[in-house]
Amino acid sequence: MSGDRYRKVPSARLSRLASFGQLAGGIAGGMLAEGARRLAAGERPQLSDMLLTPGNAMRVTEQLSKLRGAAMKLGQMISLDAGDLLPAELTAILARLRDSAHYMPPSQLNQVLIAEWGKDWRKRFTRFEATPIAAASIGQVHRATLPDGRVIAIKVQYPGVADSIDADVDNVATLLRLCSLLPAGLDIAPLLAEAKLQLREEADYVREAEQMRRYGALLADNAAFVVPAPIPELSGDRVLAMDFIPGQPIDSLQETDQPTRDAALGAMLTLVLRELFEFGFMQTDPNFANYRWQPESGKIVLLDFGAARPVPVATIAAYRRLMLAGLADDSAALKAALLEVGFVSPVTLERHAPALDAMIAVLMEHLGQPGLFDFADRSFVEEVRRSAETIAADRAAWHIPPADTLFVQRKVSGTALLAVRMAARLPLREMVAAAVDA
């Protein structure tokens, strides 16, 4: 393990604020340098061109991965949710946030575990692996062996992360404003409040243990999935112990044959539809690291339940109407459902009806076909992107959907993105029809 993966998490508020200042300064310097380069080349630089450079994206990636917590989480959400809309180069760089977290140094890890378990905490185990087997935005995971021989996984939260959530979210929002990435009139306060709430929930490991047990019960009879069980006597607010379940990264499915990929992604998409229309409860973080695959059994291991939350009845009803309209090829009903669920605003409908109609027509033509849908076929994306760019160019018409819609769509889009990567072929129309009629 390379030593540069170890980096102390800045836990004090002043040190975290200084990191944001360093990030803002670096971005500003990068913008000036890019602007000077373009002027020297005889070009008239646009602000967005100077901001969205690989160098600035690298600065954002590196600094957020050092901060972890809410800052890195928001960066991960941007990289995952942007899908096909951001420039490919920028998307690829931001995607590094999904696996670029640094580890706590052993001394800092020891301080955290002493605070949770006491100074003799090592006596609880016959073996505790100091090098993490995984690291993410809020915590890192260690493998350990209990005296009875059981192998377990222990998620340890980074110090200061829970206390820094509100400030980190506000600082990221300020950065977006300073960099003119958001229109001045766009009200993002409701979204920021929801982001803080969800991140506080994710930092509550007692709550996550409860959600893990809930999913274990919901999927107890489902042969496609494995859910670890928490170990209460070793768990608390900042440490979560659970069964260690072996598995390979979900990306390893790419090396398998078509039927294997289709079976795995079919199970995952079916789960999303059940979460939405049957459970009314959804794990809303589709980060690929939250899934593992067992080649021997063909099962998918589900991890990380911090983002599990109820889906409001009104949101479920709106999604049902949205999908029924799509199944019926009813563009008028689909537009009404898009408005109801909050994907578009009345202003967008009024100002950009032709572009919206064009997007709907393309999507219905490709997504609504009976039989197998080939997720690897992205031939329609460029058509959708052209219409989307027309709407996006009108900053006065920008609109943020309700937070509940965003969280659901994040899971739907993330699962679809994984299906694209795996080149899955699934009877999409039939699967949706069965789910909404259930």
Task: Give CA–CA dist 274/216, Å, rounded.
Answer: 15
Query: Residue 129: left if φ>0, alpha if ψ -120 to 50, beta else—which one?
Result: beta
Task: Establish whether 4 is a catalytic residue.
Answer: no
Q: What angle do CA 247, 9, 204 make, to 5 degrees?
A: 60
Q: What is the rounded CA–CA span in Å between residue 335 and residue 358?
A: 12
What sign does the CA torsion over 267, 273, 277, 283 have? Answer: positive
3-state secondary structure of 400: coil
- Give dist(CA 307, CA 237) in Å, integer: 15
- Distance, in Å, from the CA atom of 204 to the CA atom of 199, rounded to the nearest integer, reads 9
At 326, the amino acid letter reads G
Cβ-Cβ contacts under 8 Å for 387 (sequence gap 6 or more): 355, 356, 358, 359, 362
317 within 8 A of 339, measured Cβ to Cβ? no
**Residue that the structure tokens 């079916």 belong to:** 270
- What are the φ and ψ backbone dihedral angles of 203, each rounded to 5 degrees? -85, -5
Write the single-letter amino acid at 364. Answer: M
Task: Name which of 324, 310, 326 is nearest 276 in CA terms.
Answer: 310
Distance CA 368, CA 4 (A): 48
Which listed residue (204, 285, 304, 404) is catalytic?
285
Buried b (16+ CB within 10 A) or exposed e, 342-361: bbbbeebeeebeebbebbbe
Concatenated DSSP letters of 377-409: --TTHHHHHHHHHHHHT-GGG-----HHHHHHH
Residues with catalytic roles = 285
